[in-house]
């Protein structure tokens, strides 16, 4: 079974993380990667009309399977960067940035939602590409030369960017289609004489 890497960390958003985790687990071996192998607390973000910012409350816990330092990108066909506040801290992890660069350079599918764009921006892989994210992270994308598009799903080369958790269905559908195509290309290469 092909493997897909899903990044987690403290305060990763529940739906941004669990939707890809469960959807991808239907067809792939999902491996949860984090700065260390341990249990992380996820958070639930809600938009309350009385607040100017997102209201955050505790969500589930999720244990990582592997530390970023131990990841061999060649073992995976796809990468998911969930949102929440976790990317604010994860974007400084040099092992994670190397993983992201490897996936992008090799053309393997990379999915980002919400604050996940902060990791792509710090990795320096979105210059000149169209991307989307939540409006407050627009500056993270544009400050490194990406072209912000206010749309539910933006696909640029091998990047699949989504804004909000309510848009996870089309995001995952497009990402899974890319993973399927990646698997078929890999299988066809292996069958060549």
The model's pLDDT over 118-129, given as tens digits with 9 standing for 90+, comes to 999 999 999 999
pLDDT score of 187: 74
Residue 52 DSSP symbol: S
For the question of residue 115 being annotated catalytic, the response is yes
Per-residue pLDDT tens over the stretch 20-76: 999 999 999 999 999 999 999 999 877 767 766 676 777 899 999 999 999 999 999
pLDDT score of 182: 87
Catalytic residue of the set 29, 45, 47, 115: 115
Instruction: For residue 101, give its domain range.
Output: 3-191
Only one residue has tokens 């912000």, namely: 148
Alpha carbons 57 and 111: distance in angstroms, whole number: 25
Write out the DSSP string of 91-117: TT-HHHHHHHHHHHHHT--EEEEGGGH
Q: Retrieve residue 132's tokens.
A: 């989307």
pLDDT score of 54: 73
Q: What CATH number does the domain containing 180 carry?
A: 3.40.50.880
Alpha carbons 30 and 164: distance in angstroms, whole number: 22
Share of the chain above pLDDT 90, in %: 84
Question: Rounded to whole angstroms, what are the CA distances from 151 to 84, 131, 138, 147, 171?
Answer: 19, 9, 12, 12, 11
Only one residue has tokens 């764009």, namely: 117
Report the SS3 class of residue 145. Answer: coil
The verdict on pTM exceeding 0.85 is: yes
The region that residue 135 occupies, defined by phi over 0 for left and psi between -120 and 50 for alpha, beta otherwise, is alpha
Per-residue pLDDT tens over the stretch 101-113: 999 999 999 999 9
State the Cα torsion 178-180-182-188 to the nearest 10°.
-150
- Domains of the chain: total: 1
């Amino acid at each position: 079974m092909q493997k897909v890497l899903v990044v987690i960390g403290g305060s990763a958003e529940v739906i941004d993380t669990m939707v890809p985790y469960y959807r991808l687990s239907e067809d792939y071996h999902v491996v949860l990667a984090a700065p260390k192998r341990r249990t992380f607390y996820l958070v639930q973000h809600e938009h309350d009309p009385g607040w100017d910012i997102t209201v955050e409350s505790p969500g589930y816990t999720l244990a990582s399977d592997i530390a970023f330092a131990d990841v061999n990108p060649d073992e995976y066909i796809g990468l998911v960067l969930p949102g929440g506040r976790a990317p604010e801290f994860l974007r400084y992890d040099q092992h994670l940035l190397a993983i992201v660069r490897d996936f992008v350079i090799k053309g393997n599918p990379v999915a980002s939602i919400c604050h996940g764009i902060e990791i792509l921006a710090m990795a320096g892989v979105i210059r000149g590409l169209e991307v989307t994210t939540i409006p407050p992270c627009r500056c993270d994308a544009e400050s490194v030369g990406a072209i912000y598009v206010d749309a539910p799903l933006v696909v640029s080369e091998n990047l699949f960017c989504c804004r909000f958790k309510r848009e996870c269905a089309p995001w995952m559908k497009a990402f899974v289609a890319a993973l399927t195509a990646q698997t078929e290309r890999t299988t066809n290469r292996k069958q060549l004489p």
